């Protein structure tokens, strides 16, 4: 299934901006939704923060107000941003949630929400011919603060054929 619409959480957005790879998002997806709680969390860091500054200036990110957190999601006590991402995804089954948090991924799995991790975005970029290699891109994510185990990095490289 080709995913065209995504709802993204704060940590993937932050590491993508900090690793200078956020430009991959509009190349991979036709619509990138950012729940208001996620947007506010990122921009609260102020103009001295790269992610806060860049999120405010990109044209491809669509800020979305969330009325209520879905009760099925609220019970997981994931915090505002993650809960908004998963609630919006639950109500928009044609969207995938870009989220890395383990508890949020467990919640999404239990609710049959399609999820993509930040590392998987890099694999998609290579598969679609946007980048030649995943290894330097994965290292850039790690350098920007995304924790990826060596085992997961090896799995991503294998999936990419490297």
Nearest to 97 by CA among 110, 83, 79, 113: 113
46 has a pLDDT exceeding 90: no
pLDDT digits (tens, 9 = 90+) for 67-79: 899 999 999 999 9
pLDDT digits (tens, 9 = 90+) for 116-150: 999 999 999 999 999 999 999 999 999 999 999 99
1 has a pLDDT exceeding 70: no
- pTM, rounded to two decimals: 0.91
The mean per-residue pLDDT over the stretch 34-56 comes to 89
The mean per-residue pLDDT over the stretch 47-63 comes to 89
Q: What is the DSSP string of 24-35?
A: HHHHH-SEEEEE
CA-based torsion, 156, 31, 22, 24: positive or negative: positive
């Amino acid at each position: 299934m080709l995913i065209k619409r995504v709802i993204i959480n704060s940590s993937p957005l932050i590491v993508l901006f900090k690793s200078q790879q956020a430009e991959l998002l509009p190349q991979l997806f036709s619509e990138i939704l950012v729940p208001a709680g996620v947007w506010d969390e990122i921009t609260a860091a102020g103009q001295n923060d790269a992610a806060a500054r860049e999120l405010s200036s990109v044209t491809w990110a669509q800020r979305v107000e969330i009325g209520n957190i879905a009760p099925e999601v609220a019970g997981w006590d994931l915090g505002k941003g993650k809960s908004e991402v998963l609630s919006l995804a639950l109500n928009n089954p044609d969207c995938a949630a870009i989220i890395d948090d383990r508890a949020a991924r467990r919640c999404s799995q239990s609710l049959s929400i399609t999820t993509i991790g930040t590392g998987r975005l890099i694999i998609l970029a290579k598969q679609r011919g946007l980048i030649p290699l995943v290894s330097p891109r994965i290292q850039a994510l790690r350098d920007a603060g995304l924790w990826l185990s060596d085992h997961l990095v090896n799995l991503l490289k294998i999936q990419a054929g490297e």
